[in-house]
């Protein structure tokens, strides 16, 4: 019986460890929150666009007859009247930023290997496939795209790499071409977005896969590190979510994708003015940006 008291004391000490750790983490979080400016919405983006006008981003360009994420698809987007495009950015094995969506190179290059294992020379040595057939198009580098389209298009950059060094590299390219007001850098990773906002506040960011159920994530991010835009599926947008966006002055900061068919007009009726769309001439007869009243 005499030994039970020391054992109980040890158990109580062990039980306190998680509580102490939790208290320390909470205290650290509160310090970071205060240093980050509290929890108010982020309303200081520099993206050059009027919030009350519709802006449609062509999803991977317009790829009706040419490969997605190619210079040809971006030229097609311009031909159909788009002022902005959504493009996917991945890095090669030798750290070149290129336009490519898939993790695997099989569908678009016919190579049974991950894209990240390919060098720039090997990627440039292959032609892009469209509907399984080889085309005359090759995978462009992000530098080539900025050089050719940087003054005529706005860009939603879906960053597939999530490391901080990857962020440094893509921001350096945005800075080199002076495209701070023409680009939105998007990621599904809140830490990636927070890093960019902390180190490069001039860069416009978007947190992807955001819907009404991720509101609590947004609220917990300190103001200085909050994303400038919130991007997510149009399918998950509810009237309650739109009401919350309006209350927080974030309606013009909302970007939706999967906005085809009836979803397109539904988003416009909700007052959401920025959408990433797969162009369909039957659904989107006019791909030009326009006042929202005219677009409805």
Per-residue confidence (pLDDT) for residue 293, from 0 to 100: 39
CA distance 157 to 155: 6
Query: Cα dihedral angle (179, 181, 187, 191), rounded to 10 degrees?
Result: 100
Tell me the pLDDT tens digit for each residue of 156-208: 999 999 999 999 999 999 999 999 999 999 999 999 999 999 999 999 999 99
CA distance 175 to 185: 13
CA distance 293 to 295: 6
CA distance 223 to 204: 14
CA angle 91, 161, 159 (to 5 degrees): 95
CA distance 15 to 245: 42
CA distance readout (Å), 60 to 23, 67, 255: 46, 9, 15
| CB 104, CB 97: distance < 8 Å | no
Q: SS3 for 166?
A: helix
Tell me the pLDDT tens digit for each residue of 267-296: 989 999 999 999 887 766 554 444 333 444
Q: What is the DSSP string of 11-56?
A: HHHHHHHHHHHHHHHHHHHHHHHHHTT-SPPP------S-TTEEEE
Length of the chain: 296
Per-residue confidence (pLDDT) for residue 17, from 0 to 100: 66
Per-residue confidence (pLDDT) for residue 280, from 0 to 100: 82
Cα radius of gyration (the chain): 23
Tell me the pLDDT tens digit for each residue of 193-251: 999 999 999 999 999 999 888 888 888 889 899 999 999 999 999 999 999 999 999 99
pTM of the full predicted structure? 0.87
């Amino acid at each position: 019986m005499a030994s039970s008291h020391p054992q109980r004391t040890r158990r109580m000490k062990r039980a306190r460890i998680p509580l102490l750790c939790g208290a320390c983490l909470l205290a650290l979080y509160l310090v970071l929150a205060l240093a980050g400016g509290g929890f108010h919405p982020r309303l200081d983006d520099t993206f050059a666009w009027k919030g009350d006008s519709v802006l449609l981003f062509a999803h991977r360009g317009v790829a009706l007859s040419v490969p997605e994420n190619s210079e040809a698809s971006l030229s097609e987007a311009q031909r159909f009247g788009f002022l902005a495009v959504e493009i996917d950015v991945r890095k090669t094995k030798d750290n070149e930023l290129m336009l490519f969506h898939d993790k695997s190179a099989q569908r678009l290059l016919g190579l049974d290997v991950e894209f990240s294992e390919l060098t720039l020379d090997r990627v440039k040595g292959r032609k892009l496939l469209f509907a399984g057939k080889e085309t005359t198009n090759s995978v462009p580098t992000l530098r080539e795209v900025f050089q050719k389209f940087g003054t005529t298009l706005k860009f939603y950059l879906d960053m597939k790499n999530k490391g901080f060094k990857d962020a440094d590299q893509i921001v350096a390219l945005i800075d080199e071409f002076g495209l701070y007001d023409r680009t939105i850098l998007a990621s599904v990773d809140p830490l990636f977005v927070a890093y960019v906002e902390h180190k490069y506040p001039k860069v416009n960011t978007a947190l992807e896969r955001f819907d009404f159920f991720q509101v609590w994530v947004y609220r917990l991010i300190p103001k200085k590190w909050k994303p400038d835009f919130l991007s997510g599926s149009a399918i998950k947008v509810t009237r309650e979510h739109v009401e919350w966006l309006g209350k927080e002055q974030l309606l013009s900061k909302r970007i939706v994708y999967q906005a085809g068919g009836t979803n397109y007009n539904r988003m416009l009726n909700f007052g959401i003015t920025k959408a990433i769309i797969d162009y369909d001439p039957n659904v989107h007869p006019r791909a030009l940006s326009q006042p929202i009243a005219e677009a409805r």
